[in-house]
Amino acid sequence: MPHEPKTDSPLIIDPAASGSGTGESMFDALLMHFSGTQVTTDLDPRVVKALRAEFDRSEFFGDDMRRLWAMCERVVVQSGRVPGGSGKAINLLNLACGYCEEGAVLSAFWGRGGRRVRQFAMDLRHAEIDKARRRYAATERMFKAAGITKVGRRDEGLDVEFIADDATHLVGYGEIPEHYDVVFIRHQNLWHDRAIWQRIYEFSLARIADNGLLLITSYFDREHLLALELIKSLGGEILVSERNLSSRELSYPGKSIDRHVAAIARQ
Ligand SMILES: C[S@@+](CC[C@H](N)C(=O)[O-])C[C@H]1O[C@@H](n2cnc3c(N)ncnc32)[C@H](O)[C@@H]1O
């Protein structure tokens, strides 16, 4: 049996009452994200059909991304928070993002309803950040090749800013926001180096905007529990923690993709 993480008081909210979850599919949200439009019915249906077929074949949006999407929907609704409120823009910080498989998906997820998402994605490793940039650009090209070009966003800068540096050095970068509606850490890595990860958690908690969330996922049961304990000791409030039952098992025993997820607020 998987080990269920204990939380002080996981808050379960009626999804219908939470104001979250628009029912848009991941595909529709990506379409809106890459076209810059809120009304996909304005797009040529033949283009949309061809793109959907391409999307279904694409290695970028496989099952892990669909599960990640569903997991984010569940956990955000259960947290009872609506990061960014009814604002038109949302700041998203994706820390220790590696090659950032989820870059486009997260922007599309948080951009539902036509919100502008400014995502800053950081990792220590330059090679991973290069790969992340190329991956995001290739996704953009896929939409462009189908005739989807972004409208009305020319003066708003990049959708995702990929930065190769220590997660806690973000402050050194000029036009970067002080606080984030969402701080996202996929497959946190406490076991790799506790002191470094303590620093990353402290930094993350300090950067959460009012009513914002820190979302973390973990590969392992115990690593997740230890991360939650540490985050609590640093002033984080665990709103939700879930063993993701649809997570994909990896060959290493007890390890699976997004095995656990938690939504955390600053106390
Ligand atoms: C387990 S990997 C997860 C990568 C990615 N989020 C994923 O889900 O595939 C942990 C990542 O933390 C990054 N990392 C470790 N220390 C870091 C630091 N101080 N600042 C930024 N990234 C760091 C590593 O380079 C690595 O990519």
Ligand 1, atom 9: closest residue by C-alpha: 98
Per-residue pLDDT, 156? 54
114 secondary structure, DSSP code: T
For ligand 1, say whether the CB of 223 is within 6 Å of any of its atoms: no
CA–CA separation, 195 and 192 (whole Å): 9
Q: Is residue 116 part of a domain?
A: yes
**Residue 22, Ramachandran bin (φ over 0: left; ψ between -120 and 50: alpha; else beta):** alpha
Residue with CA closest to ligand 1 atom 16: 124
Q: Is 202 helix (H, G, I), strand (E, B) or coil?
A: helix
The SS3 call for residue 120 is strand
Residue 23 domain-assigned? yes
Residue 6 lies in a domain: no
What is the number of structural domains in the chain? 1
Whether residue 1 is contained in a domain is answered as no
187 lines ligand 1 (CB under 6 A): yes
Q: What is the pLDDT along the chain (267 residues), one digit of tens a residue?
A: 333 333 333 322 223 323 333 335 898 899 888 888 766 667 788 888 888 888 888 878 888 999 999 999 999 999 999 999 999 999 999 999 999 999 999 999 999 988 999 999 999 999 999 999 999 999 888 888 877 777 655 445 578 999 999 998 887 777 789 999 999 999 999 999 999 999 999 999 999 999 999 999 999 999 999 999 999 999 999 999 999 999 999 999 999 999 999 999 999
What separation in Å is there between the alpha carbon of 258 and the centre of ligand 1? 14
Three-class SS of 32-80: HHHHCCCCHHHCCHHHHHHHHHHHHHCHHHCHHHHHHHHHHHHHHHHHC
Query: For residue 75, how far is its CA from the centre of ligand 1 (angstroms)?
Result: 22
- Report DSSP state, residue 159: S
Question: What is the spatial distance between Cα 169 and Cα 196, in angstroms, rounded to a whole number?
Answer: 12
CATH number at residue 66: 3.40.50.150
Does residue 76 have its Cβ closer than 6 Å to ligand 1?
no
Q: Do the Cβ atoms of 218 and 259 come closer than 8 Å?
A: yes
Which domain does 237 fall in, by range? 15-266
The answer to whether residue 107 sits within a structural domain is: yes
Answer yes or no: is 48 within a domain.
yes
Whether residue 59 is contained in a domain is answered as yes
Residue 10 belongs to some domain of the structure? no
Strands 260-266 and 208-218, how do they pair?
Answer: antiparallel
Between CA 53 and CA 73 the distance in angstroms is: 24
Alpha helices in the chain (DSSP H): 15-18, 26-35, 45-57, 63-79, 103-110, 126-145, 194-207, 221-233
Q: Does residue 124 line the site of ligand 1, with CB under 6 A?
A: yes
